[in-house]
């Protein structure tokens, strides 16, 4: 088992999800949100994330799991990482007025 690769995948997924959810929370312009997702995916690919890639979204990971492109343990690590990244973003931005509307 390659623990270095696992740690790298988890770190990129947490950081990417954190950044993407931060953009979702702070921006209302769908063009900026879309560009942010594209930029994050390019950065992740540049950092060496290979197949099956990054998703920053647990639903996408579940769909890929159901299509048998993931093994259960891979899907689990990505989904947990995405939830952690999203919760961290929510926690960081909850101190500001961006989330008061929720």
Give the structural domain span for 91: 3-11+28-95
Q: Among 98, 96, 74, 92, which residue's Cα sits nearest to residue 19?
A: 92
79 occurs within a structural domain:
yes
pLDDT per position as a tens digit, 18-51: 998 999 888 889 999 899 888 888 887 787 666 5
Residue 88's pLDDT is 95
101 occurs within a structural domain:
no
87 occurs within a structural domain:
yes
Angle at 30 between CA 38 and CA 75, to 5 degrees: 50
Q: How many domains does the chain have?
A: 1
pLDDT per position as a tens digit, 45-100: 787 666 556 778 888 888 888 988 878 888 888 899 999 999 999 999 887 765 55
Q: Among 30, 20, 6, 10, which residue's Cα sits nearest to residue 56?
A: 20
Residue 85's pLDDT is 94
23 occurs within a structural domain:
no
51 occurs within a structural domain:
yes
Determine the 3-state secondary structure of 55 from DSSP.
coil
């Amino acid at each position: 088992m390659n623990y270095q690769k696992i740690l790298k995948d988890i770190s990129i997924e947490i950081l990417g999800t954190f950044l993407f959810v931060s953009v979702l929370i702070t921006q209302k312009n769908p063009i900026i949100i879309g560009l942010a997702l594209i930029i994050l995916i390019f950065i992740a690919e540049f950092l060496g994330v290979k197949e099956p890639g990054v998703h920053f979204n647990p639903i996408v990971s579940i769909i890929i799991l159901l299509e048998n492109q993931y093994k259960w343990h891979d899907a689990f690590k990505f989904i947990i990482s995405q939830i952690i990244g999203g919760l961290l973003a929510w926690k960081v931005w909850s101190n500001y007025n961006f989330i008061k509307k929720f």
